[in-house]
Amino acid sequence: MIVTLIVICEVGFWVLLALGLALRYGAKMPRASIAVLLCEPLLEVVLFVATAIDLRGGAVPDWKHGLAAVYIGYSVALGHYTIKWVDVRVAHRFFDGPPPATPRYGMARAVHEWKLAARWVLAAVIATGLLQGAIWYVGEAGQTGTLEQWQQKMLFVIGINVVIAASYTLFPKTEPAPQGAEPRTSVR
Please indicate whether residue 177 or residue 116 has the higher confidence score (pLDDT). Answer: 116
Q: Report CA-CA distances (Å) from 36 to 8, 33, 46.
A: 17, 5, 16
What confidence category does residue 58 fall into, taking pLDDT thresholds of 50, 70 and 90? confident
Give dist(CA 112, CA 101) in Å, integer. Answer: 11
What confidence category does residue 185 fall into, taking pLDDT thresholds of 50, 70 and 90? low
Among 19-23, 44-48, 173-177, the minimum mean pLDDT is found in 173-177
Predicted TM-score of the model (pTM)? 0.87
Q: Judge whether 122 and 77 are in contact, CB under 8 Å.
A: yes
Residue 57 confidence (pLDDT): 87
Per residue in 97-133, pLDDT (tens digit) is 999 999 999 999 999 999 999 999 999 999 999 999 9
How much of the chain, in percent, has pLDDT values that exceed 70? 94
Residue 21 confidence (pLDDT): 95
- Please count the helices (runs of H) and the strands (runs of E) in the chain: 6, 0
User: How many C-beta atoms surround the C-beta of residue 119 within 10 A?
Assistant: 19
Give dist(CA 64, CA 154) in Å, integer. Answer: 15
Domain boundaries, the chain: 2-170
Burial of 140 (0-12, 13-18, 19+ CB in 10 A): exposed
